[in-house]
Amino acid sequence: MQKRISALLLAMVIVIGSVLNGNTLKVKAASVAVSEDFAVELTMMLYNLLETVAISSGIKDGLDDYESGSSLYDAFIASVESMTEPPYYDTIITMEDGSKMTVKEALDAVESTLGSNALKLPTSETFAKYRVISGTGGNEPDPTPTPSADPDSTPVPDTGYKDPFTYIQDVLVSSTLLSAMAGIFADLYAGKIDGLEYSDYLSNVENVPERYFKGQYDYNSYGEVLIRGSCYNYFDKLNNGLSFYYEIDTSYPGKICFVDSGTGPSLYAYNADKNALISSHISAKRFIKKYYNRVDYDGADTFSGISSDSSVTSHKAIFYFNIPAFSTQAQALAFFQTGELTGLLNGEPYDFPDLATSTAERLQPLTGYEFAPGRLPGINAALSTAAAALPEPGLDPAENTEAYKNVLNAALTAALPEPAPEPEPDPDPSPSPDPGTGGEGESYKRDLRLLFPFCIPFDFIHLIQALKAEPETPKFEIPVKLDFVDVDTSIVIDLAWMDPIMKIWRLGELGLFIVMLMKSTSKMIRW
């Protein structure tokens, strides 16, 4: 009879499993007690990490602006949700009780409990709370701290900082997550994120938005070249100095450029028929000028009287225009003829795509150990300060980019805390005290749970507890490297397709165990 019941149950399991084959059953992540506060901490941890990657990718000021930063964060969340395998699996967070989980498990728990909107940035007020730098905010320090009862202990000074993170104590960041975040900035620089322009995230110089010539012109709806930007000029007139801006916002029916030969900028257009440069038809009076330290200047609206003045001993111009500026007319003519950018004065100072793609490698020290997420704003501030202190970029973007990388590497190394040293063993440990000196009857006290045969019931309980675990789908990754045929890959065996069958199989096992238990119980009762 027992054999018949077993065979029947096994047959039922096989039939039901074959019928359900191909259907997908959602496997939930490990159960995690979450709250709205935990979701906020998880979101702000990811945002602060995104800012770290932003600064490393060339955005010197970081993402301190709530509106623009939230747009970029939303774009990152959207891109991750579209990935087949999100980069959260190997980033580990440590909870308040010391337990650990992956960010993927935490996100799954948040979404299942609070919905996908829980991953949105909080209000601007809550946002600012998690942007406080260690030692610069929080509660006001106690002016008269209470001395410690222990005279040998030194009181810890109150810096006024209160860590805003409560649930997430530590985080171990993976390079996979950093690479995914860096990909967002690579897409931003490539113009692949709708509604976002990377120039909006770059630093300002003298409150003039930075604009560079990116190798091609911008056109309006009439096919005219759009000319926007500013030019900062400095003239040394009799060593007294004269500084001002040229600002322009207009359009022109043909291609146009600046030529700065050392005495002041001039506008030129290209005549294709004559294969030559011609003076532009844009009146210099359309320029708006701001003056600083005016010396011996008549206030005219044109360039005349400045560039041709014999008292001008030197000149320096910095262009922030979306049209090209060259040092000589020959270089400008070569550009119009062949597209060559030799002598370009207003190209992008850094290779921003290179900064983005190399970010994960540059931030590798951040992945070496666990750290409190509340430290990230301080680390980001140090990186931003180092980037802002860089000298004015030269004309070679490659050299500027390399200098940026080196400065950021040094700043990150200095900002990260030293890992705690492992405690050295005591070379001469003190001998164990006399077991009979701990108090009357102390030597006769024993935990019977540790002595045979009284430990048997407790050992059985521990055995049952060890068998209690969440089911986990087997997944094997076998590396295959064959140097002689230049093959470096891996074979992945993922048994996730068996999840529906195994769920039914586990139910069958449970049913079979119950039937067998009933059968055995009847025998014991008769006995």
Q: Is 150 helix (H, G, I), strand (E, B) or coil?
A: coil
Checking if the pLDDT of 411 tops 60, the result is yes
Q: Please say whether the beta carbons of 363 and 53 come within 8 A.
A: yes
Alpha-carbon torsion, ordered 441, 447, 453, 459, to 10 deg: 180
Q: Are 493 and 476 in contact (CB under 8 A)?
A: yes
Least confident of 46-60, 129-143, 250-264, 349-363: 129-143
pTM comes to 0.60
What token pair was written down for 19? 């019928």
pLDDT, residue 139, reads 38
Secondary structure string (H, E, C) spanning 415-429: HCCCCCCCCCCCCCC
198/312: higher pLDDT: 198
Mean pLDDT of the chain: 75
pLDDT of residue 142 exceeding 80: no
Residue 180, pLDDT > 80, answer: yes
Q: How far apart are CA 477 and CA 491, in angstroms?
A: 6
Could you tell me the residue ranges of all domains in the chain?
Answer: 2-25+442-526, 36-141+158-200+354-415, 213-347
Cα(397)–Cα(524) distance, integer angstroms: 86
- pLDDT-based confidence at 292, cuts 50/70/90? very low
CB 203 within 8 A of CB 60: yes
DSSP 364-418: GGGGSS-B-GGGHHHHHHHHHHHHHTSPPP-S-HHHHHHHHHHHHHHHHHHHSPP
Q: pLDDT (tens digit, 9 = 90+) per residue, 480-526?
A: 888 777 777 888 888 888 888 888 888 888 888 888 878 777 776 66
The pLDDT, as a whole number, for residue 59 is 92
Q: What does the pLDDT read at residue 513? A: 82
Residues 6 or more apart in contact with residue 519 via CB below 8 angstroms = 2, 5
